[in-house]
Amino acid sequence: MNILDKIIADKRNEVALRKQLIPVSQLEQSVLFERTSPSLAEALKASNSGIIAEHKRRSPSKQVINHNLNVQDVAQGYENAGACGMSVLTDGKYFGGSLDDLLLARASSSFPLLRKEFMIDEYQILEAKAYGADVILLIAAVLSRSEIKSLSESAKFLGMDVLLEVHNLEELQKSMMPSLDMLGVNNRNLKTFEVSLDISKSLSEEIPNEFVKVSESGISNIEAITELKPYGYQGFLIGENFMKTDNPGQSAEAFIEELK
């Protein structure tokens, strides 16, 4: 069993437990549930930098990245830096995140927030909305076409954007549908954790123009973005690069300034 299979098996148990603890009716009563979500896809289209900055404490591949930061400060810092949106890891066991991180980020910022999570159930989309997210991530590697369709349509019904993540051509071809806003190419092989920008480059021509193209993982310098822009990428997800510093907001600001 590879790490991804293990994460998904654990996630199924976690979601089943959460459903028992907090009923859907309670999620729907959240003060944030009726909030109109700003669109990350539109923000990326209008931006010169296209930076989606991430809050990530640790990961299975890198272990601890940064445990010392206040998520509210990070969110404010990223928004002030001019990032288009923020990705918030909410998986606890493998990434050290929680839904409370999403809530705190929402309390201190108004730009689009992405719930970065292993989504396998519509319940998690309702959670995302209730805790202040504007965008959900779907990972093609762990979902069937019918699951991608039902989950993305549920998110669209709630007024949220959908970012679908793929790693190869097969995942891309099974996934394309009108209920997606953004197609993200993950440059990290989820089975080996090796990173290569060639994945984004090779898949770029296969992504129709109606989707905003996002490149994820392994983007640690200006050169990577300069290299990928000619391939039609408008969004760039950067986490580790900012989070490993003492002040991610300042790091993001310097990065975005340099991009200009």
Return the closest-CA partner of residue 156 out of 243, 37, 76. 37
For 116, the 3-state DSSP assignment is strand
Model confidence pLDDT, tens digit, residues 134-144:
999 999 999 99
What are the start-end ranges of the H helices in the chain?
Answer: 3-21, 24-28, 40-45, 71-81, 99-107, 122-130, 145-157, 169-175, 198-204, 222-228, 240-243, 248-259
- Residue 8: the pLDDT is 96
Could you tell me the two tokens for 31? 């003060």
pLDDT of residue 69: 82
Amino acid 23: pLDDT: 97
Q: How far apart are CA 94 and CA 248, in angstroms?
A: 21
Are 179 and 125 spatial neighbours (Cβ–Cβ below 8 Å)?
no
Tell me the C-alpha distance between 171 and 166, whole Å.
6
- Computed on alpha carbons and rounded to an integer, the radius of gyration of the chain in Å comes to 17
Determine the pLDDT at residue 190. Answer: 67
State the Cα–Cα distance between residues 59 and 24, nearest whole angstrom: 29
The pLDDT score that the predictor gives to residue 60 is 75
pLDDT per residue as tens digits for the range 111-152 = 999 999 999 999 999 999 999 999 999 999 999 999 999 999
Query: Quick one: pLDDT at residue 30?
Result: 97
| Model pLDDT, residue 191 | 67
Say which CATH class 3-259 falls into.
Answer: alpha beta
Q: Give the C-alpha separation, 163 to 14, whole Å.
A: 23
Query: Low-confidence residues of the chain, pLDDT below 50?
Result: none
Active site residues per annotation: 54, 56, 116, 165, 186, 216-217
Q: Report domain extents, the chain.
A: 3-259
